């Protein structure tokens, strides 16, 4: 079997769900090796092993966390040269995406971004599925040169446990002087909302212009469903909700099991961020809103009436 590198996404050892998805995909392609950058392996080990990491490469150096992207790319490229994996799977965060971009150039390898599915092709190599042009087309592709470097979108697969050997190996990395050129001088962790994280959530309830700036009904429905809250670009641009909650082309891309669009018209910008959701529900006053072309279930009505009634009913049914 061939080795598949998975770049672990974590916050001080708290492994994000996308990593368990990547490990699950890696198992279908070969033997997963987790690449763990930074401190916190003690908190991460159990999850990485549970989801199938046969090898865990440990890369810990201040250079890798004090500077963005470039040192990590150098380290990962060195590891790719040494381990000669059959593929590298990378989560779809802004930083990992750029690490992947640089590793591709450094190692002379093809790069595929935003894969929603990765499977073994006829020759055993990975074949990817991408959803492009705001979900309008499905593209199948594969890398033809070097080591396939694949950026995978969240919720591409349901993570499944299957313990791996979890052999740990500390990797010495040589970071060049040039890589220490853009320094992170300050890092302020975002305040946690207490709700599931937007890109990982199974259910997302989003609000748009139709909220008029009051997200309380959206948040109440989200909490009743155990969902994350999202916002349209119109709502974010109006200053009603923080940009980190924006769903759309220039915000987060989500593909949850259920997406509830409240007071969102469904412009192409927004659709690009949510069209791969399994089930789409919308509430909008305007029966002509383009969002209704996408929905599995829609309510034409005032979200200030419909959402609280739905929330109350859901709480009642949950007992």
Partner 1 sequence: MKIVVCVKHVPDATAQRRFDADHTVDRAGVDGLLSELDEYAVEEALQIAAAHDGEVVVLTVGPDQAADAARKSLQMGADSAVHVVDEQLHGSDAIATSLVLAEAVRKIGDYDIVVCGMASTDGAMGVVPAMLAERLGVPQVTFAAEVSVDSGSVTARRDADLATETIEASMPLVLSVTDQINEPRYPSFKGIMGAKKKPVQTWSLADLGVDADQVGLAAAWSVVHSVAARPPRSQGVVVTDDGAGGRQLADYLAEQKFI
Interface region with partner 1, contact rule CB under 8 A, candidates 23-31, 49-57, 134-142, 158-166: 134-142
Q: How far is the CB of 132 from partner 1 (least distance, A)?
A: 8
- Evaluate whether 32 touches 23 at the Cβ level (below 8 Å): yes
The interface mask with partner 1, positions 144-183, x = CB under 8 A, is: xxx-------------------------------x--xxx
Of residues 158, 172, 184, 288, which one binds partner 1 by CB under 8 A?
184
Of residues 60, 97, 166, 209, which one binds partner 1 by CB under 8 A?
97
Buried/exposed code over 90-115 (b: 16+ C-beta within 10 A; e: otherwise): bbbbeebbbbbbbbbebbebbbbbbb
Q: How many residues bind partner 1 (CB under 8 A)?
A: 91
Phi/psi at 182 (5° precision):
-120, 105
CA nearest 211: which of 230, 192, 190? 230
Q: How far is the CB of 305 from partner 1 (least distance, A)?
A: 6
Q: How far is the CB of 91 from partner 1 (least distance, A)?
A: 9
Of residues 60, 98, 117, 223, which one binds partner 1 by CB under 8 A?
98
- Evaluate whether 283 touches 211 at the Cβ level (below 8 Å): no
Instruction: Give bridge partners of residue 260 from the DSSP assignment.
Output: 205, 281
Written as one string, the DSSP assignment of 93-135 is SHHHHHHHHHHHHHHT--EEEEEEEEEE-TTSSEEEEEEETTT
CA nearest 102: which of 130, 125, 119, 78? 78
Query: Residue 84 or residue 133: which is nearer to partner 1 going by CB?
Result: 133
Of residues 40, 58, 60, 114, which one binds partner 1 by CB under 8 A?
114
Query: Residue 146 or residue 166: which is nearer to partner 1 going by CB?
Result: 146
Say how far apart CA 282 and CA 260 lie, in whole Å.
Answer: 6
- Evaluate whether 81 touches 108 at the Cβ level (below 8 Å): no
Interface region with partner 1, contact rule CB under 8 A, candidates 28-36, 49-57, 142-150, 206-214: 142-150
Q: What angle do CA 255, 257, 261 make, to 5 degrees?
A: 75
* Touching partner 1, residues 212-271 (CB under 8 A): 225, 243-244, 249-250, 257-258, 268-269
Q: How far is the CB of 168 from partner 1 (least distance, A)?
A: 25
Does 44 help bind partner 1 (rule: CB under 8 A)?
no
Query: Residue 1 or residue 315: which is nearer to partner 1 going by CB?
Result: 315
Of residues 19, 33, 131, 156, which one binds partner 1 by CB under 8 A?
131
């Amino acid at each position: 079997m061939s080795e598949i590198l998975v770049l672990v996404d974590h916050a001080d050892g708290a492994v994000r769900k996308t990593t368990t998805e990547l490990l699950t995909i890696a198992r279908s392609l070969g033997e997963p090796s987790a690449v763990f950058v930074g401190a916190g392996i003690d908190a991460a080990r159990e999850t990485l092993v549970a989801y199938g990491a046969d090898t865990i490469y440990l890369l810990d150096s201040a250079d890798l966390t004090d500077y963005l992207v470039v040192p990590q790319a150098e380290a990962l490229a060195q590891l790719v040269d040494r381990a000669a994996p059959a593929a590298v799977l990378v989560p779809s965060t802004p930083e990992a995406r750029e690490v992947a971009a640089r590793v591709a150039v450094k190692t002379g390898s093809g790069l595929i971004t935003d894969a929603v599915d990765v499977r073994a092709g006829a020759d055993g190599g990975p074949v990817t599925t991408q959803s492009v042009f705001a979900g309008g087309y499905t593209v199948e592709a594969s890398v033809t040169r070097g080591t396939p470097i694949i950026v995978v979108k969240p919720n591409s697969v349901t993570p499944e446990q299957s313990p791996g050997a979890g052999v740990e190996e500390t990797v010495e990395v040589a970071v060049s002087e040039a890589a220490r050129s853009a320094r992170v001088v300050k890092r302020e962790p975002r305040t946690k909302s207490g709700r599931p994280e937007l890109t990982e959530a199974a259910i997302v309830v989003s609000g748009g212009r139709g909220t008029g700036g009051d997200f309380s009904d959206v948040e109440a429905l989200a909490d009743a469903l155990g969902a994350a809250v999202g916002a349209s670009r119109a709502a974010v641009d109006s200053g009603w909700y923080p940009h980190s909650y924006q769903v759309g082309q220039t915000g987060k891309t989500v593909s949850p099991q259920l997406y509830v669009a409240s007071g969102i018209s469904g412009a192409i910008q927004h659709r690009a961020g949510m069209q791969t959701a399994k089930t789409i529900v919308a509430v909008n006053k305007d029966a002509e809103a383009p969002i209704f072309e996408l929905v599995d279930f829609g309510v034409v009505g005032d979200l200030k009436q419909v959402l609280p009634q739905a929330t109350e009913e859901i709480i009642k049914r949950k007992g």
